[in-house]
Amino acid sequence: MQASFSEFEYAAKKKMTRRDRFLGEIEAVTPWSALTAEIQAFYPKGEGRGRPPIGLERMLRMYIAQQCFGLSDEGIEDAIYDSQAIRRFVGIDLSHESAPDATTVLKFRRLLETNQLTERIFAAINLLLATKGLILKEGTVVDATIIAAPSSTKNRDGERDPEMHQAKKGNQWHFGMKAHIGVDADTGITHTLVTTPANTADVTQAHALLHGQEVDAFADAGYRGVEKRAENRNSKVDWHVALRPGKRRALPDTPLGRLAEKVEQFKASVRAKVEHPFHIVKNVFGLKKVRYRGLGKNTAQLFTLFGMANLLIAKRRLFALHAQGAS
């Protein structure tokens, strides 16, 4: 296919933008064939009359770009027309075809949500990382974060989202949902995701964040007493839960107290890995507030985002393994 003038101009530019680098990393680390295989059985085949469906990988690329840049259905359609970098990533040449419209993106997103395909995408990514030795499964770090939801009642129903709730954190009230994750203690890769309303206590979901093969589990002070709960009494996992800040400050300046402080510092160094996926989802992908109404749609989005976050966390090791294979 002959290249257009805009493509020649884009190829000749001297500076690679942050968007170019970001999309290049996503392109390189994403197992496209494995992800399309998870969706293939549910995607329209285009049999009979009517317009044939758009290629599956193209729609998946458009969906991934939408989620990674935090765009609406209309926003990703406009971005394809505005950005040569996104057009190249998706694989669209505007001199020969138009971009899929917002309705097509909406239908594809609903296909993924209805059939729990984003959870399968998340599992396929983790299976790839596990086969490459990037999920060791000897320890897990658990934590949760609140994702805000609009608290306004100025909508069609005249009420806030009934599946979201408010919770107090410190001296502030937050309205929204919680994303609870279990992260590999060695690599920082998220292996388990559970979502709840924001008023759900973190400790009640701890058992659901374990994959069952770990020996040790690490958590912050919000999980105190987790090993005494009924669902964890028969578990062989050794829980390492941080002291509450007040008790830690009160540790005596004695050999035993200094040893306890070093233990707390070690726990904190391990727990720090759980902040990496939260940072990518909230700051790199821009999910500061929920985009959709209801837990179901937002959970489907989070499976995609944490799956892509896992690829970005593992990118250096994936690139190193690829270089070793090439040599």
What would the DSSP string read from start to end of 280-298? IIIIIS--SB--SSSHHHH
CATH code for residues 136-297: 3.30.420
Q: Where in the chain is the domain with CATH 3.30.420?
A: 136-297
Q: Hey, what are 2's tokens?
A: 């002959």
The pTM score is 0.90
d(CA 115, CA 78): 27
Under DSSP, is residue 193 helix (H, G, I), strand (E, B) or coil? strand
Q: What is the number of other CB atoms lying within 10 angstroms of the CB of residue 283?
A: 10
SS3 160: coil
pLDDT at 88: 92
Angle, CA 201 vertex, CA 205 and CA 247 arms, to 5°: 105
Q: Are 134 and 314 in contact (CB under 8 A)?
A: yes
Q: What is the mean pLDDT of each run of 10 residues along the chain (327 residues)?
A: 57 75 93 95 80 88 96 95 92 86 95 96 95 86 95 79 90 94 94 96 95 93 93 90 91 92 94 95 95 94 97 87 62
Choose among 144, 148, 162, 122: nearest CA to 39: 122
Which of 240, 304, 312, 242 shows the shortest CA–CA distance to 276? 312
CB 160 within 8 A of CB 185: no
Burial-class residue 40 by CB neighbours within 10 Å (0-12, 13-18, 19+).
exposed
What is the reported pLDDT for 117? 97
Separation of alpha carbons 85 and 91, rounded Å? 10
* Structure confidence at residue 325 (pLDDT): 63
Task: Look at residue 97 in the predicted model and tell me its pLDDT.
Answer: 82
pLDDT at 52: 75
> What long-range pairs does 80-85 form, CB within 8 A, spacing at least 24?
83/19, 84/6, 84/7, 84/10, 85/10, 85/17, 85/19, 85/20, 85/23
The partner residues of 216 in beta bridges, in order of sequence, read 139, 238
Cβ burial of 317 (10 Å; 0-12, 13-18, 19+) is middle
pLDDT at 8: 57
Give residue 135's pLDDT: 83
CB atoms within 10 A of CB 160: 17
238's enclosing H/E stretch is: strand 238-241
pLDDT score of 3: 58
